[in-house]
Amino acid sequence: MVIVSAHAPRLGSVPDPSAAPASSASRFASPAPARPVRVILVDDDPLTRAAIKPLLRPSQDYVVVAEAGDGHEAIDVVGRIEADIVLMDLGMPVMDGIEATRQICAAPRHPHVVALTTWDVDDAVVRVIEAGAVGYLLKYSASEELHAGLRRVMAGESVLSPGALAELLRYVRSQPTAPTAAAYDLRSQERQHAVAQAQQAAAGLSRRELEVIAAAAEGLTTEEIANRLYISVSTVKAHLRSAQERVGARNRVHLAVLAERAGLLG
């Protein structure tokens, strides 16, 4: 069941004449500080959604503009309601959060997707990152942790803390890159192809780009990377964009996963 806030802005709706002029930026661009971050909450359990919503209420920085109970509903509501972030459950009926994330992130312009999970890092978490999620948060995070993660997303940083990213990469390191006979499915082949692409692209990466990738894989922010390498923030961003394009990474966390699999992190 889709639940839409009465104040949720519709895509393609007539603008309020009293509102400030719209910019030419993407409809999913990071918002100005004057308005709250618009969140779509996706989970098949209404009780879970009801538990998460109050975590956002203490702050005026976020507003839940819509809710959805499965992946199909999530795709539908993302197409109709303007949002900045989708908080996406993974295990849902009809369509799971991984496939919903894949379809949402296939659009040229789309909101950031953050996976919600009750689990430790496992293959589902890795798969949703490969599908385009910018990271994951535990469903029952404290309000401060949830807010901190969402702030990092809107700032263009990794949603994961350095510790969480290290845990994710340890899991990736422990998994075979090549598909086994028992797991030789399309997903395994796609993963192997992505790793091969990253390895091939690595030959064209500069030493500085490799240093930036390694620092990002430690969970450092853009500013922290700039300070470590004695370069400007804009240069760090340029190197990250270039590296992501070359290796086929969807975002910073996916870049770290591909770099680990391709042996770029040493």
Does 18 score more than 50 pLDDT?
Answer: no
Q: Which domains does the chain have, with CATH numbers?
A: 3-159 (3.40.50.2300), 183-261 (1.10.10.10)
Of 218, 208, 264, residue with least CA distance to 240: 208
Segment 8-34 mean pLDDT: 49
pLDDT at 100: 97
Q: Which of 214, 65, 163 is nearest to 224 (CA)?
A: 214
- pLDDT tens readout for residues 51-93: 999 888 767 789 999 999 999 999 999 999 999 999 999 999 9
3-state SS string over 46-98? HHHHHHHHHHHCCCCCEEEEEEECCHHHHHHHHHHECCCEEEEECCCCCCCHH
Residue 190, number of CB atoms within 10 A of its CB: 12
Rounded distance between C-alpha atoms, residue 114 and residue 105, angstroms? 11
Q: Are 124 and 98 in contact (CB under 8 A)?
A: yes
Tokens read off for 134: 């910018």
Burial of 245 (0-12, 13-18, 19+ CB in 10 A): exposed
Taking residues 205-220, what's their average pLDDT? 94
Report pLDDT for 264: 87
Quick: pLDDT tens for 144-184: 889 989 999 999 888 888 888 999 999 999 887 655 544 44
